[in-house]
Amino acid sequence: MKVLVVEDNVELASCIGAALEHLGHHMVHASSVNDAIARIESGVIGAAMLDVDLDGEQSTAVAVVLSRGRIPYVVTTAHAPHSTPAAYGGHA
């Protein structure tokens, strides 16, 4: 399965990618909201992992696009779950 990993930290994205590859999946990496939306619209994404804060930009727009496409996702963040915006629909 292709898993979109929306993460601005390159080292962390690389670790996630290695874990996904080990599990038999393929990582598609995006480090910004625009990049992530373009990747969703240009290919088949089976699931996604979204970092909330992308260098000061929130990934809520990506969550909306994923939800519209009925693509499952999880929110990955260092922030407390109660501080995660409601736009993520309880995926944190």
Q: Which residues, listed in sequence order, are joined to residue 57 by a DSSP beta bridge?
A: 54
pLDDT for position 92: 47
* Residue pLDDT, tens place only, 63-92: 999 999 999 999 987 766 666 566 565 544
Mean pLDDT in residue range 27-54: 94
DSSP assignment, residue 81?
A: G
Calculate what percentage of the chain has a pLDDT beyond 90. 71
In the predicted model, is pLDDT for residue 33 greater than 70? yes
Based on its alpha-carbon atoms, the radius of gyration of the chain, rounded to whole angstroms, reads 12
Distance CA 24, CA 46 (A): 13
Q: How large is the angle between the packed helices 60-68 and 33-42, nearest 10 degrees? A: 20
Beta bridge partners of 4: 28, 48
Q: What pLDDT shows up at residue 76? A: 85
Amino acid at 24: G
pLDDT band at 39, cuts 50/70/90? Answer: very high
Considering the entire predicted model, what is its pTM?
0.86
